[in-house]
């Protein structure tokens, strides 16, 4: 359920005077727009001027180092103050710490934002719902993350020419990925050693792809007050088994050697040694500047329990209002005006970024599919103090030290205990 609460929005004729107060935005990067740096920044500068005049406010920005950010947020709130009126926070900071420990204002209760407005990200608004209120949001399209890059040059060389047809016709499944991976994995120089692999990914990317693509997750937050270690669920076990089979039974996944850098498989893909790379969109810059082969992008194939694709979402941030800010409705009115679409914005402005980095139109349509169908799935794997358990589980699956069921059963109780402990601030 998304709450629809309409109030004093930018187009309202009601007059406001907020007495010259300062409304501060914070992030761990520079938010202050620089004149002439881009069309977007110049638009934002004009908007700031308009809003400051209309509401008699001053817009300011705080750039706080990432390593100090969360602690600063918490200590200022506990002192009855706030480091900003509107703070950008990582998803893994917002939940569980800030949300469950009452550090965030229930924004929907202010009666200002219409959270059904298309300017808001559906994904973050839904994620921010708790006990009938909305506590976080972001505007615009979610920056897409999880995709499968594929080497179009290698595919063509190995006789695979129908990837996009398969993908857009919803025939892209684990079985089809295995079929392609088997064709791509081979010894190209006859020395008896595999030197071309079907599938690879940065640290943890591949098994995460299997889990999320089967409607499972590492931690279930369907009840946000009671997060649950979820790798023992049937869909998760099936995903872990598929991952282990791809790795050991079929031997189509490039497993980095011990001590290899985290991006070992990514560099192998750039060098033309991996056919499919489970990665994130931000790697486009490296691919465009370093890779000689042509590449495309689709989503991770559907698991056996799914009829729709998914895209893992990590590294995302949301906006929140600290519980201690003064006159929060004034802040909300200003923010609603600041985030209204600009009159001269082209709805297709987003395409330029991807056209400069993608090599085909189909890849761009893949990005658009993530937005249109809201396929992003928040992965909260690192939001709790259990990452070492996940690393151990991945290693045991890769090496065959344990079956998925045995590995999960061994660590489930400890993982859940740590999850519970992490809720206590």
Asked whether the whole model's pTM tops 0.95, one would answer no
Provide the CB-side half-sphere exposure for 122 (13 A, CA): 10
With CA atoms as reference, report the closest residue to 123 among 310, 399, 387, 248.
310
Domain 146-313+358-422 has CATH 2.60.40.1930: no
Is-same-fold flag (21-142+315-341; 146-313+358-422)?
yes
CA distances (Å), origin 425, targets 61, 71, 74, 111, 228: 28, 12, 10, 30, 18
pLDDT at 37: 92
CA pair distance 106, 113, nearest whole angstrom: 12
CA pair distance 182, 326, nearest whole angstrom: 61
Q: Which residues pair with 376 in a beta bridge?
A: 311
Neighbours of 17 (CB within 10 A): 9
Task: State phi, psi for 133 to the nearest 5 degrees.
Answer: -120, 165
CA pair distance 393, 115, nearest whole angstrom: 39
Neighbours of 127 (CB within 10 A): 26
From the centroid of its chain, how far is CA 377? 7
With CA atoms as reference, report the closest residue to 1 among 73, 86, 108.
108
pLDDT at 353: 86
Residue 152 DSSP symbol: H
CA pair distance 162, 240, nearest whole angstrom: 27
Q: Which residues pair with 312 in a beta bridge?
A: 377
Number of H helices, E strands in the chain: 17, 14
pLDDT at 13: 57
Cis bond upstream, residue 193 (ω within 30): no
Domain 21-142+315-341 has CATH 3.50.50.60: no
The three-state secondary structure class of 222 is coil
The domain spans of the chain are 21-142+315-341, 146-313+358-422
CB 210 within 8 A of CB 240: yes
CA distances (Å), origin 411, targets 205, 207, 218: 21, 17, 13
CB 157 within 8 A of CB 145: no
What value does the CA radius of gyration of the chain take, rounded to a whole number of Å?
23
The three-state secondary structure class of 274 is strand
Instruction: Encode the chain (425 residues) as per-residue pLDDT tens digits.
Output: 344 333 344 445 578 999 999 999 999 999 999 999 988 999 999 999 999 999 999 999 999 999 999 999 999 999 999 999 999 999 999 999 999 999 999 999 999 999 999 999 999 999 999 999 999 999 998 888 899 999 999 999 999 999 999 999 999 999 999 999 999 999 988 898 999 999 999 878 999 999 999 999 999 999 999 999 999 999 999 999 999 999 999 999 999 988 889 889 999 999 999 999 999 888 887 888 899 999 999 999 999 999 999 999 988 999 999 999 999 999 999 999 999 999 888 888 888 888 888 889 999 999 999 999 999 999 999 899 999 999 999 999 999 999 999 999 999 999 999 999 988 77
CB 414 within 8 A of CB 389: yes
What ranges make up the beta strands (E) of 267-310? 274-280, 295-298
């Amino acid at each position: 359920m998304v709450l629809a609460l309409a109030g004093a929005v930018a187009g309202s004729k009601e007059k406001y005077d907020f007495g010259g107060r300062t409304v501060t935005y914070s992030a761990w990067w520079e938010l202050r727009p620089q004149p002439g740096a881009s069309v977007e920044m110049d638009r934002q500068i004009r908007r700031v001027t308009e809003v400051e005049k209309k509401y008699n406010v001053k817009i300011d920005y705080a750039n706080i180092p990432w390593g100090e950010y969360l602690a600063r947020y918490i200590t200022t709130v506990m002192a009855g103050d706030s480091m900003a009126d509107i703070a950008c926070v990582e998803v893994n900071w917002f939940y569980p710490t800030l949300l469950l420990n009452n550090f965030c204002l229930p924004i929907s209760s202010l009666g200002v934002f219409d959270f059904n407005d298309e300017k808001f990200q559906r994904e973050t608004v839904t994620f921010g719902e708790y006990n009938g209120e909305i506590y976080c949001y972001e505007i615009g399209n979610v920056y897409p993350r999880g995709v499968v890059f594929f080497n179009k040059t290698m595919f063509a060389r190995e006789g695979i020419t129908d990837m996009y047809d398969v993908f857009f016709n919803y025939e892209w499944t684990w079985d089809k990925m295995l079929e392609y991976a088997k064709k791509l994995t081979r010894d190209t120089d006859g020395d008896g050693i595999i030197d071309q692999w079907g599938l690879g990914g940065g640290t943890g990317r591949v098994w995460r792809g299997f889990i999320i693509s089967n409607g499972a997750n590492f931690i279930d937050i369907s009840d946000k007050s009671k997060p649950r270690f979820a790798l023992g669920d049937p869909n998760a076990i099936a995903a872990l088994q598929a991952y282990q089979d791809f790795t050991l039974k079929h031997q189509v996944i490039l497993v980095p050697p011990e001590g290899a850098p985290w991006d070992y498989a990514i560099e192998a893909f750039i060098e033309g040694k991996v056919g499919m790379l489970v990665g994130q969109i931000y790697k486009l810059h490296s691919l465009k500047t370093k890779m000689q082969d042509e590449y495309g992008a689709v989503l991770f194939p559907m698991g056996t329990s799914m009829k729709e694709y998914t895209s893992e979402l990590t590294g995302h941030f949301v906006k929140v209002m600290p519980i201690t800010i003064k006159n929060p409705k004034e802040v909300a009115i200003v923010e609603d005006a600041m985030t209204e679409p600009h009159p001269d914005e082209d709805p297709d402005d987003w395409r330029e970024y991807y056209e400069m980095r993608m090599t085909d139109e189909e890849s761009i349509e893949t990005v658009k599919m993530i937005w249109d169908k809201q396929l992003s799935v928040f992965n909260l794997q690192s939001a709790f103090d259990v990452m070492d358990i996940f690393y151990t589980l991945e290693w045991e699956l890769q090496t065959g030290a344990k079956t998925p069921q045995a590995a999960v059963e061994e660590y489930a109780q400890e993982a859940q205990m740590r999850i519970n402990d992490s809720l206590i601030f």
